[in-house]
Amino acid sequence: GESVGLHLPTLSVQEGDNSIINCAYSNSASDYFIWYKQESGKGPQFIIDIRSNMDKRQGQRVTVLLNKTVKHLSLQIAATQPGDSAVYFCAENNSGYALNFGKGTSLLVTP
């Protein structure tokens, strides 16, 4: 979920397991959501997006679920690999140009 204070929430999973990263968004009028992956020393990298008229979207090894009733977004990563270790951000679009990013969740994949 979203971070509190200075420390990012951390999800630790074993290689090969499935990962689920959660995000609570703030604005019920948001109509577009994105997940980004940020590796150390790099910029955020687009993973997958979903519009508010959908509740599920699948990509390669990733699935995003949207629950508008409780304003919740999740990212599922199948068969997590060491290269998936990174900080994951959800972002919502409710103003047309200013993405509102969450504080991020750190995913650590252990062998």
Partner 1 sequence: DAGVIQSPRHEVTEMGQEVTLRCKPISGHNSLFWYRQTMMRGLELLIYFNNNVPIDDSGMPEDRFSAKMPNASFSTLKIQPSEPRDSAVYFCASSTGTGAALNEKLFFGSGTQLSVL
- By CB under 8 A, which span of 9-17, 18-26, 33-41, 61-69 interacts with partner 1? 33-41
CB of 111 to partner 1, least distance (A): 27
- Residues in contact with partner 1, shown as a per-residue x/- string from 5 to 24 under the rule CB under 8 A: -x------------------
- Residues in contact with partner 1, shown as a per-residue x/- string from 66 to 105 under the rule CB under 8 A: -----------------------x---x--xxxx-xxxx-
- How many Cβ atoms from other residues are within 10 Å of residue 70's Cβ? 7
Selected binder of partner 1 within 34, 75, 77, 90 (CB under 8 A): 34
CB 54 within 8 Å of CB 104: no
Strand 99-101, strand 105-110: pairing: unpaired
The residue among 70, 87, 85, 80 whose CA lies nearest residue 35 is: 87
> Coil, strand or helix: which one is 83?
helix
User: Which tokens in the block code for residue 48?
Assistant: 């997958």
Q: State the residues that interact with partner 1 by CB under 8 A.
A: 6, 31-32, 34, 36, 41-46, 49, 89, 93, 96-99, 101-104
